[in-house]
Chains A and B, each alone.
Chain A
Amino acid sequence: MSALLEVVGLRKRYKDIVAVDGLGFAVHEGETYGLLGPNGAGKTTAISMIVGVLDADAGEIRVAGRAPDLATRAMVGYVPQQLALYPDLTARQNLRFFSGMYGMRRAQARTRIAEVLELIGLSDRADHAVATYSGGMSRRLNIGVGLLHRPRLLVMDEPTAGVDPQSRTSILDSVQRLTGEGLAVLYTTHYMEEAERLCDRVGIVDHGRMLTEGTPSELGDPDLESTFLRLTGRALRD
Chain B
Amino acid sequence: MRAMLLILAQDLRRRSKDSTLLVFAIVLPLGMAFMFDLVIGGSEGPVAARYGAVGASPFPSSPALPPVVPVASEQEARELVERGRLDAVFVTGPGSIHVIGSVDAPIAVQVAREIAESAALPLPGPPPIEIVEDATAATRELDPATHYAAGSAVFFMFFAVLFGFTGLYAERSSGTLARLLAAPVPRASVAAGKLLSGLLAALAGMAVLVGATSLLMGARWGHPAGVAALCVACVLAAMGLSAFVASFARTAEQAATWQSVMATAFGLLGGSFFPVGSWFVQLTPHHWFLRGLADLHGGASPLPSLAVLLGVAALTLPFAARLVRA
Residues of A bordering B, CB below 8 Å: 48, 51-54, 70-71, 73-74, 76, 78, 80, 82-89, 97-98, 100-103, 145
Task: Identify which of residues 10-37 in chain B touch chain A, using a CB-to-CB cut-off of 8 Å.
Answer: 10, 14, 17
Residues of B bordering A, CB below 8 Å: 2-3, 6-7, 10, 14, 17, 174-176, 178-186, 325-326
Partner of A102, one of B17, B183, B325: B183
Interface pair A80/B14, CB less than 8 Å apart:
no
13 interchain pairs, CB-CB under 8 A: A52-B182, A53-B181, A70-B185, A70-B186, A73-B183, A78-B179, A87-B174, A89-B14, A100-B6, A101-B3, A101-B184, A103-B2, A103-B3
In the assembled complex, which residues on chain B have CB atoms less than 8 Å from the CB atom of A74?
A: 184
Partner of B175, one of A51, A52, A83: A83
Chain B nearest CB, measured from A7 CB (Å): 16
- Per the bound structure, the CA–CA distance linking A142 and B204 in Å amounts to 36
Chain A nearest CB, measured from B188 CB (Å): 12
In the assembled complex, which residues on chain B have CB atoms less than 8 Å from the CB atom of A52?
A: 181-182
Chain A nearest CB, measured from B25 CB (Å): 20
Chain B nearest CB, measured from A28 CB (Å): 21
Known A82-B175, A85-B176, A87-B174; contact A70-B14, beta-carbon cutoff 8 A: no
In the assembled complex, which residues on chain A have CB atoms less than 8 Å from the CB atom of B2?
A: 100, 103
Identity of the chain A residue whose Cβ is nearest the Cβ of B190 in the assembled complex: A101
Interface pair A101/B185, CB less than 8 Å apart:
yes
In the assembled complex, which residues on chain B have CB atoms less than 8 Å from the CB atom of A102?
A: 183-184
In the assembled complex, which residues on chain B have CB atoms less than 8 Å from the CB atom of A76?
A: 182
- Per the bound structure, the CA–CA distance linking A74 and B185 in Å amounts to 9
Interface pair A98/B179, CB less than 8 Å apart:
yes
Partner of B3, one of A48, A85, A100: A100
Known A86-B174, A97-B6, A100-B2; contact A145-B184, beta-carbon cutoff 8 A: no
Partner of B178, one of A70, A80, A100, A101: A80
Chain B nearest CB, measured from A87 CB (Å): 7
Interface pair A73/B182, CB less than 8 Å apart:
yes
In the assembled complex, which residues on chain A have CB atoms less than 8 Å from the CB atom of B17?
A: 88
In the assembled complex, which residues on chain A have CB atoms less than 8 Å from the CB atom of B186?
A: 70
- Per the bound structure, the CA–CA distance linking A78 and B181 in Å amounts to 10
Identity of the chain A residue whose Cβ is nearest the Cβ of B18 in the assembled complex: A88
- Per the bound structure, the CA–CA distance linking A82 and B174 in Å amounts to 8
Chain A nearest CB, measured from B228 CB (Å): 31
In the assembled complex, which residues on chain B have CB atoms less than 8 Å from the CB atom of A100?
A: 2-3, 6
- Per the bound structure, the CA–CA distance linking A51 and B179 in Å amounts to 9
- Per the bound structure, the CA–CA distance linking A86 and B185 in Å amounts to 18
Chain B nearest CB, measured from A185 CB (Å): 16
In the assembled complex, which residues on chain B have CB atoms less than 8 Å from the CB atom of A87?
A: 174
- Per the bound structure, the CA–CA distance linking A145 and B186 in Å amounts to 19
Interface pair A48/B184, CB less than 8 Å apart:
no
Known A53-B326, A54-B326, A70-B186; contact A101-B175, beta-carbon cutoff 8 A: no
Partner of A98, one of B174, B178, B183: B183
In the assembled complex, which residues on chain B have CB atoms less than 8 Å from the CB atom of A51?
A: 182
Identity of the chain A residue whose Cβ is nearest the Cβ of B6 in the assembled complex: A100
Chain B nearest CB, measured from A214 CB (Å): 29
Chain B nearest CB, measured from A230 CB (Å): 34
- Per the bound structure, the CA–CA distance linking A28 and B94 in Å amounts to 106
Interface pair B6/A53, CB less than 8 Å apart:
no
Chain A nearest CB, measured from B94 CB (Å): 78
- Per the bound structure, the CA–CA distance linking A102 and B325 in Å amounts to 19
Identity of the chain B residue whose Cβ is nearest the Cβ of A74 in the assembled complex: B184
